[in-house]
Amino acid sequence: MSANDGDQFPLGIDELLERVRAAYERIEPQEAYEAARAGDALLVDIRYAALRERDGLIPGALVVERNELEWRLDPQGSHRLPEATSHGLRIVVICNEGYASSLAVQSLHQLGLRRATDLVGGFQAWRGAGLPVE
């Protein structure tokens, strides 16, 4: 295959993450904490159960398994959570270290949830910042 035949070379994950993240503004732990406390953001924890059991939970965050995220947060979906009230909802997706959450945000944007973002550094950054964990 040559570069002239119109085919693109596959992206590596680092380049994919860079492109995905360039499409929106990520949020730091303290800002996410303040937005959630003010009722301006919905925190959504997509970590798998073993990590939640090991490290704890962010008080008030919704736990939504990654494989259910789109179905639970789509305001038009029949399986949506009660909190998924509109496409204008500000959602902060939280994974363990802030990688899987970026790819999840891309998917939410495709559903029209344009205010979705993710937490820089994920749960580990939240905990490292001394923010509440239960």
The answer to whether 70 touches 108, Cβ cutoff 8 Å, is yes
The answer to whether 83 touches 43, Cβ cutoff 8 Å, is no
Which of 8-17, 25-34, 67-76 comes out lowest in average pLDDT?
A: 8-17
Which position has the token pair 């998924």?
84
What are the chain's domains? 32-128 (3.40.250.10)
pTM of the shown model: 0.91
pLDDT, tens digit, for every residue of 63-116? 999 999 999 999 999 999 999 999 999 999 999 999 999 999 999 999 999 999
